[in-house]
Structure formats: C-alpha cells, structure tokens
C-alpha cells in the first residue's frame, strides 16, 4: 500500500505509536547518489519522529488490512470449493521506503523502491505448462 493510507480504525489500533520506531540514520547521513533524488526529497527532512511514527503506523495498518482482505478471499474460495482450481497472482508495481536512505515513498531505484511483491499460488486442480 501507499498513501493515502486508508484502513478501518481497528487496524490502526493494532499498532500503538510508541511501538512504531522510525529507522535511525547516523548523524549527518547522506544517501548514496543523493544528488539524483528528486528535488523535493528534501521535503522529507521536515518530518519529526511523531510524523514518522504516524507514517509507519499507517503503512502497517494498511498492510495488515490488505492481508485480512486476501484472507477473506482465500476463505471464500475454500468455503465454495474453488480454492483447488483457482490461480492466484498477487503483485505490486513497486517497493516502498519507510525511512531508508532518508526517503518515505516510492520512485527510487534503491533496493527498497524496486523490491516489488510477486506471489503465485495455485491449487492441485491447476496445471501449468511452461514452454520455452
């Protein structure tokens, strides 16, 4: 997930702010290739610890909410007897920074920005044939 972060309140309540510790970078840290980050990257410097905790909490809440929705889908497939003949592909188009390299978002070529999720799951009734 990414901003705007939207999830029911109960998912935010799972993550108390005091448990959402921001990444601590060394004093004076400059990310490699800082010159190539977008000009507005300096905007992230204005975030204080409270802002960072709220950002992390929101990210965690939305990730947990999304996981719960995937769980609902899997439960419904199982309850209707469709799980074993269903191909599920779950993917994202980018990774996400949670403070690494002084960045709080996507749109970089750092590992955190390019590490995109990709999961394939299929039941016993699905047969995949690869040709090549």
Q: Is the preceding peptide bond at 4 cis, omega within 30 degrees of 0?
A: yes
- Mean pLDDT over 59-72 rounds to 96
- Between 106 and 77, the more confident residue is 77
Tens digits of residue pLDDT in 11-27: 999 999 999 999 887 78
Q: Name the CA dihedral angle for 48, 53, 56, 57, rounded to a multiple of 10 degrees.
A: -150
- At residue 33 the predicted structure's pLDDT band, cuts being 50, 70 and 90, is low
Of 103, 71, 105, nearest to 1 by C-alpha is 105
Is residue 35 predicted with pLDDT exceeding 70?
no
For residue 42, the model assigns a pLDDT of 67
pLDDT in tens, 100-129: 877 788 878 888 888 888 988 888 777 777
Supply the pLDDT for residue 14: 98
Buried b (16+ CB within 10 A) or exposed e, 70-93: eeeeeeebeeeeebeebeeeeeee
């Amino acid at each position: 997930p990414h901003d705007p972060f939207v999830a029911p309140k109960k998912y935010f309540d799972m993550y108390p702010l005091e448990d959402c510790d921001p990444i601590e970078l060394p004093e004076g840290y400059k990310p490699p290739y800082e010159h190539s980050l977008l000009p507005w990257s300096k905007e992230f410097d204005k975030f204080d610890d409270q802002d960072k905790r709220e950002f992390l909490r929101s990210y965690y809440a939305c990730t947990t909410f999304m996981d719960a929705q995937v769980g609902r889908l899997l439960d419904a497939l199982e309850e209707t007897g469709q799980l074993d003949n269903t191909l599920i592909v779950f993917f994202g188009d980018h990774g996400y920074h949670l403070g690494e390299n002084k960045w709080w978002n996507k749109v970089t070529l750092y590992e955190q920005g390019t590490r995109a999720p990709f999961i394939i799951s299929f039941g016993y009734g699905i047969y995949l044939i690869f040709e090549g």
